[in-house]
Amino acid sequence: MRLNDAPASHRIHIIIYPGFKSLEAVGALTVFDYANAQLKNKGAPPLYDIHLIAPEQGPVQSDSLIKLDAQALRDGGLPRTALVVGARDIGPAVHQNRVIVDWCRHAAGRIERLVGVCSGAFFLAQAGVLDGLDATTHWSVASRLSTEFPAINVNADAIFIQNGRIWTCAGVSAAIDLSLALVEQDLGQDLALSIARELVVYLKRPGGQSQFSQHLDSQMTPHAGIRRLQLWILQNLDQELSLEALAGQANMSGRNLRRVFQRQTGRSPSEFIEQARLERARRLLADSDNALKRIAAQCGFSSEDHMRRVFQRHLGVTPKAYREQYEAR
């Protein structure tokens, strides 16, 4: 949907409850509010009518110092889009807020989009909304979701997943990625990317991307020298990264570098490089129309065929098939 045919109002409910994750609610709210601001700057009317909704009206304490004022769920009516955010301790949250479960069961077939954000997916799961569907959640509770609700095909890796009108996402900062995807669906990619830039989001990640980033992994490496080397590798993936080049950058012998890198990261330097190149290629396949040969070069693969072999080994698909799957999603 583009600016010239956008409806006058798209009502959004962000559903919270005591102990909700504040970053998820505030992140989503901010994306939709910035979308309205961008529309105003273009001389267009605001699209989103944003409401915070909770089981009871009034201030709702989050998992942090933040409290948000909310309308009562029973008084809110049905929106076009609803996002149910997660909690640190989701078991008691679902048990104590059965009204949200009942609301999800009632609303699932009646609204345009119902989203389980992070462990908020457990509310949808308890309502039976996710039965028979692919779904994701925060990696830390993915196995629990799969065990408690075996009818759901849980993908512990994805940033977010769409099944028609039902969406789930990994949560916390991924709530921003999901909200940007919803804005892109409503108003187009250019406006969504403009919001991402305004929020200084490093990358608007597509849903098929992994929750586990090489950038995040490298930040967790205890050894400062190896951590710096990982960052250098990520900034130079299009170069020929031989062991000799890495050893020179780290001021170590090649043998010592292999030993220390393996001990600190659990992987060899070559395994880290291959995973990083794969991650970058997945992003470029999703976010650009570049030819496969050019993407292979941008990521440092020796050839398009080399990239294809890596994709098939790790993902079981070719780069061309991966792009087609993402476009289908």
Instruction: Give the residue-averaged pLDDT of 47-55.
Output: 96
Q: Are residues 151 and 250 in the same domain?
A: no
**Mean per-residue pLDDT for 51-68?**
96
Same domain assignment for residues 227 and 286: yes
- Looking at the structure, tell me whether residues 126 and 30 fall in a common domain: yes
Choosing from 139, 167, 198, the residue where a domain stops is 198
Shared domain for 164 and 37, answered yes or no, is: yes
Closest CA to 314 of 282, 267, 268, 291: 282
Reference 299, options 270, 320, 275; nearest CA is 275
Looking at the fold, whether 178 and 228 belong to one and the same domain comes out as no
Rounded distance between C-alpha atoms, residue 310 and residue 30, angstroms? 38
Which of these three, 168, 198, 228, is where a domain ends?
Answer: 198
- 80: containing domain: 3-198
Which pLDDT value is given to residue 52?
Answer: 97
> Is the pTM value of this prediction over 0.75?
no
Q: Is residue 204 part of a domain?
A: no
Whole-number pLDDT of residue 33: 96
Pairing assessment for the beta strands 10-15 and 48-54 based on DSSP bridges: parallel
Same domain, residue pair 231 and 194: no
Please check whether residues 187 and 218 belong to one and the same domain.
no
Q: How confident is the model at residue 238 (pLDDT cuts 50, 70, 90)?
A: very high
When pLDDT is cut at 50, 70 and 90, the band that residue 289 belongs to is confident
Pick the closest to residue 223 from 252, 245, 254, 255 (CA basis). Answer: 252
| The domain boundary residue, chosen from 144, 170, 198 | 198
Look up residue 19 and give its DSSP letter.
T
In a domain, 205, yes or no: no
The answer on 307 and 278 residing in a single domain is yes
Do 191 and 44 belong together in one domain?
Answer: yes
320 and 230 together in one domain: yes
Total number of domains in the chain: 2
C-alpha separations of 83 from 28, 38, 165, 169, 269 in Å: 9, 22, 12, 10, 41
Average of per-residue pLDDT across 229-244: 91
Establish if 8 belongs to a structural domain.
yes
Predicted confidence band of residue 110 (pLDDT cuts 50, 70, 90): very high
Q: Report residue 156's pLDDT band, with 50, 70 and 90 as the boundaries.
A: confident
Same domain, 239 and 290: yes
* CATH assignment of the domain containing 272: 1.10.10.60
